[in-house]
Structure formats: C-alpha cells, structure tokens
C-alpha cells in the first residue's frame, strides 16, 4: 500500500489524489504542534457533540442554595452566581462556539473566494467596483464593524454570526484576487482557453481549486479571531442571549465576582484561550503543508 501511494508514475487520477493526500498527512503528522492543535479542535467538536452525556448537571438549572461554590467533586469547576454548574455550561458553551465558527466559515469562505476570483480574472470596471467595496469593509476594525451591525440587528447568536460574516469576507476576497491574478495568465490556463473551455469552467474548475488551499489556511488562522469577536459580542450582551451558555457572556456574568470567586470568569476565559491557540497552531501546520511555496 505504501509503494502504491508513493508511486512516481500513478496509473490513474484516483491513485495520484490518494498519494498526494497521503504525503500531506505524513507532512502534517511530522509537525507535533499542528497535531496538538488538531487534537484541541477535535476535543471541542467532541465536547459539543457529546454535551448531554458529559455534562454533570443541567446547565440552565438555577440553585441559589449552591451559588458561588468553589470547584469540588460535586461541581468540578464550581458554580456561578445563580448556582449553575460551570463545567456543564462550558461544555454546552462549546456548542455555541462551534456554531459560530462553522457557520461563519461556510459563509465567508465561498463568498470571499467567488468575489476574489471574479475580480481578479475580470479586471477593469468589475475589479475596481468589487475591490472598492472590499476596501470600505477593510477600512473599519472588524470588532467595531461587527458591533455596529449587531446593534442594528436584534441581539442574539445568529445576529452575531451574520455580523461576523459580513465583516470577515473581504480578507478572503483580497487573497483570492491576488492568487487569481497570478494564475490567469499562466500557460496552462491559456491552453485550457484554447481548448474551448468557458470562463465559468476556467474560474470554478481550475482557478478556484488552486486558490482553495490558501483560503482554507487563512480561514483556520482566522478562527481564533472569530472566536474572540463572538466572545466580545457575548461579553457586551450583543451575542448569545441568556440563558444560553456562551463563553463570552459567562465571563461578563462573572466579572463582578472576579476577586473573590475567580473561577466564574477565569475558566471560560481559559477555554477561549485554549481553543484559540488550538486553531492558531493548526492553521500554522496547515500552512506549512498546503502552501506550495513552503514545500
């Protein structure tokens, strides 16, 4: 199997694709930090999927008799000012975080890719119009712009997702445009054009797959920023609304008790830090593996 995957003369496209994927996996495994990042991300996903089974208490049940309890065998990470179990709320909060991450990724990746390759390949007026719109969004800090959009919309988790997505796509459009301009005059694109391929086929059948690895790497590296913006909106009361468990709102609810009951705000902050670090080092590993300039 190893010789089949690493063959220098693959007999089919399927064998070549399998071999390329195998080489990428080997390169990724040789980077221990990237593997740690992947494990952190997989742990987040497993916590979100298995939340009903690993949570020790109802994350929304209030018990004023058990409020502000320190970590113990009964409440692993203590309780908050309403007697809710923090461990259970952390676990269920991973669902909110994962919802934001993947929904934003599904929106901004394709939108930025389509805008970028269309602008880079077309040039002229279309390029100038699309890039000026992109520049308008890039002129404002993402958090400030997200706050503005969320203030216009009704506060909530999905309003936060829409606001983050609206403010995140321009960076991907710029990246896709730069790579499209590099590829559009290449010899293989000219050969495809001479064979009669349509513009749509060239854009989405040849140029888009070439731009996709860079988009994936940039998206993975941006996950930490997306998490922080979502937590910031939750902290300010513009993201997920009570009683929904969300790490940013948990920090906000514990800030008044930070000196005496540190675990209420500190533990959600540690969760945000660990997950953001995991996505960052995973993105670094993917960049080393997928970027053809570093191979």
SS3 letters for the chain? CHHHHCCCCCCCHHHHHHHHHHHHHHHHHCCHHHHHHHHHHHHHHHHHHCHHHHCCCCCCCCCHHHCCCCCCCCCCCCECCCCCEHHHHHHHHHHHHHHHHHHHHHHHHHHHHHHHHHHHHHCHHHHHHHHHHHHHHHCCCHHHHHHHHHHHCCCCHHHHHHHHHHHHHHHHHHHHHHHHHHHCCCHHHHHHHHCCCCHHHHHHHHHHHHHHHHHHHHHHHHHHHHHHHHHHHHHCCCCCCCCCCCHHHHHHHHHHHCCCCCHHHHHHHHHHHHHHHHHHHHHHHHHHHHCHHHC
pLDDT score for 44: 92
- Angle 44-46-50 from CA coordinates, rounded to 5°: 125
On average, the pLDDT of the chain sits at 87
The whole-angstrom separation of Cα 253 and Cα 235 is: 8
- Model confidence at 244, in pLDDT bands (50, 70, 90)? confident
Name the residue among 212, 244, 217 with its Cα closest to residue 230. Answer: 244
Cα 161 to Cα 107, 211, 215, 217, 277: the distances in Å are: 10, 25, 19, 20, 21
Tokens in use for 5? 């995957």
Write down the residue that tokens 């391929």 correspond to: 197
Name, of 14-23, 72-81, 188-197, the range with top average pLDDT: 72-81
Domains detected in the chain: 30-294 (1.10.3720.10)
pLDDT score for 142: 82
Whether residue 295 has pLDDT greater than 70: no
pLDDT score for 275: 93
Phi and psi at residue 65, to the nearest 5°: -75, -20
Tokens in use for 128? 């100038």
Q: Residue 237, by phi and psi: left (phi above 0), alpha (psi -120 to 50) or beta?
A: left
* Candidate from 62-66, 110-114, 273-277 with smallest mean pLDDT: 62-66
The whole-angstrom separation of Cα 63 and Cα 9 is: 67
Name the residue among 216, 214, 241, 275 with its Cα closest to residue 39. Answer: 275
pLDDT score for 292: 55
pTM: 0.85
Residues in Cβ contact with 185 at an 8 Å cutoff, skipping those fewer than 6 apart: none
Cβ atoms 13, 19 nearer than 8 A: no
- Mean pLDDT for 13-38 is 84
* Candidate from 106-120, 135-149, 168-182 with smallest mean pLDDT: 135-149
- Model confidence at 271, in pLDDT bands (50, 70, 90)? very high
Share of the chain above pLDDT 70, in %: 98
- Mean pLDDT for 265-285 is 91
Cβ atoms 55, 95 nearer than 8 A: no
């Amino acid at each position: 199997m190893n010789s089949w995957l690493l063959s220098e003369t693959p007999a089919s496209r399927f064998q070549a694709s399998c071999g390329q994927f195998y080489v990428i996996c080997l390169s990724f495994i040789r980077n221990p930090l990237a593997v740690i990042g992947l494990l952190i991300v997989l742990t987040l996903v497993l916590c979100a999927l298995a939340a009903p089974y690993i949570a020790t208490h109802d994350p929304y049940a209030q018990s004023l008799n058990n409020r502000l309890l320190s970590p113990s065998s009964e409440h692993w990470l203590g309780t908050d000012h309403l007697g809710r179990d923090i461990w259970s709320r952390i676990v269920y909060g991973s669902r909110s975080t994962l919802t934001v991450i993947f929904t934003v990724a599904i929106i901004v990746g394709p939108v930025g890719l389509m805008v970028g390759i269309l602008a880079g390949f077309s040039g002229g007026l279309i390029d100038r119009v699309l890039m000026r719109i992109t520049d308008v969004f890039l002129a404002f800090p993402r958090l400030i712009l997200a706050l503005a959009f969320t203030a216009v919309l009704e506060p909530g988790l999905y309003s936060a997702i829409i606001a983050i997505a609206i403010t995140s796509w321009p960076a991907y459009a710029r990246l896709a445009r730069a790579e499209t301009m590099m590829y559009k005059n290449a010899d293989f694109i000219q050969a495809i054009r001479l064979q009669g391929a349509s513009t749509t086929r060239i854009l989405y059948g040849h140029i888009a797959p070439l731009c996709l690895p860079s988009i994936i790497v940039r998206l993975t590296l941006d996950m930490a920023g997306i998490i922080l913006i979502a937590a910031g909106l939750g902290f300010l009361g513009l993201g997920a609304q009570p009683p929904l468990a969300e790490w940013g709102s948990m920090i906000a609810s514990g800030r008044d008790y930070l000196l005496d009951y540190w675990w209420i705000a500190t533990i959600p902050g540690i969760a945000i830090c660990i997950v953001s670090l995991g996505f960052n080092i995973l993105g670094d590993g993917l960049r080393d593996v997928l970027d053809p300039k570093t191979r």
